[in-house]
A and B are shown apart, each in its own frame.
Chain A
């Protein structure tokens, strides 16, 4: 689809929504798979000065009912016959717009002229994003519509141009997917690849070979699985179209970055942002490969790293990140208590993320609530996972804290390679524990390993360490 065709269809969709009764300031829940219909719905809603509220298209009735009610949506745009559409029956006043993969069937009947509506009031959300709910119920994060433009500019460090083909694995229901597949694409005139389904490593490799992206945006978990798929001899691999790989969403392990760069021969960059910031706060620099680091801070942010007492920490020491700057969400949607906890009165956002600063480069150490204090030392689960993943039997792993004798210790949950899964568990346990003993300082070594079929993950592929913690808490209660 060309930009001209997209502009016309977005205008048609704005007219269609308006004719059904959607007005500036309303929320429009968009529960569509990534594709043309989703982009048209997003942009059409923005033209109307209503707030696109993109959500995952593979949720349950209960999830959709929560999101529709929580957002106070006026309208729902969804696929015909989908779970989301069926959920609309629970909300008699909800305006329903049914689509196929291209958009609403009656779209061509509407005018392609639409004068962008002015915002209804300054406080109405321009875009309403939802957190993935990895630590509880999803929270609405309102942003102005200008945040999309600012977020797109935050990706200029990647020097994206009209000849680029961008493939972002993060869906349009996530902030990074919106920032890349919509923001950066529209800002630069590039081409976006939108894949409608869930991608596993083999699907993704096949799509890369077929669609030939120049820049791949992906989470480390999937880079790891792709790498292992390539090494195990998956057929039809062609990564030659890539000029850059970008990693976001979780800390990027150095061995993984090195292995991926060796495989592809292209640079790998890292970045850090959140649903609350919309824009990347840290980003790598082209030509200065430091994959372990989330990058340098954008100059439009004011940052501080502090210890538990709120005192600034020196370079090299882990500290909690607080930041102030452009397009930071001023408060969660209808969640005053959560807002007070994170969005402080003086404009600082308490990110809950721990970083180390070294010569201006920031390296993510994990979530503050994922970090473990073992024997007086902060332990980053991500660093323990990095080492455990270097054992040949380990395909994926997640590390969380558990109490042993009242003290917090690290424990590991491992998904084994299929060729290792038939080995006796006690033999593998001994081998992996010895591997940890040989490669990690004592506070970081797990006291137990558990072999599991799958790790609990958010829809964007991040390991949910909070759920791993619950494994032991539940076991204790039983």
Chain B
């Protein structure tokens, strides 16, 4: 789980989030409440799709809020 979270933090940096913010983001809390905005989030979803070579449907996206959510989503594949 930790390895997945670390990988997701790298993805946060890749979409332009300040590295400090990516590093300190609480994996259990919604990312949009921790400094991410309306453009960061779709950018993160696209980068996530590209990194893990998957396609997120709109319904799944609605259920993903925190780093833990995304990590668990990968684990469920």
Contact = CB atoms under 8 A, between A and B. Distances in A.
Contacts of A433: 14-16, 43
Given A405-B58, A442-B37, A430 B43 contact: no
A432 B42 CA distance: 17
Interface residues of A, number: 21
B53 to A, nearest CB: 13
B31 interface: no
A407 B15 contact: no
Interface string B1-27: 000000000100111111000000000
A433 B50 CA distance: 16
A446 B47 CA distance: 12
Nearest to A447: B43
Interface of B is mostly: helix
A429 B38 contact: no
A443 B39 CA distance: 7
A375, A430, A434, A442, most chain B CB atoms within 10 A: A430
Contact of A447 (B42, B58, B61): B42
A93 interface: no
Contacts of A443: 39
A437 interface: yes
A166 B54 CA distance: 55
Contacts of B16: 430, 432-437, 445
B14 A426 contact: yes
B47 A409 contact: no
Contacts of A442: 37-39
Interface in A394-434: 404-407, 409, 426, 429-430, 432-434
B9 to A, nearest CB: 12
Contact of A445 (B13, B14, B39, B45): B39
Contacts of B18: 434
A116 to B, nearest CB: 61
Given A433-B14, A433-B43, A447-B43, A406 B38 contact: no
A405 B45 contact: yes
A409 B37 CA distance: 13
- The 8 A-B pairs at the shortest CB distance, nearest first, are namely A433-B16, A447-B43, A404-B42, A434-B16, A437-B16, A442-B39, A445-B39, A430-B14
11 contacts: A375-B38, A405-B61, A406-B58, A426-B10, A429-B14, A433-B14, A433-B43, A434-B18, A443-B39, A445-B39, A448-B43
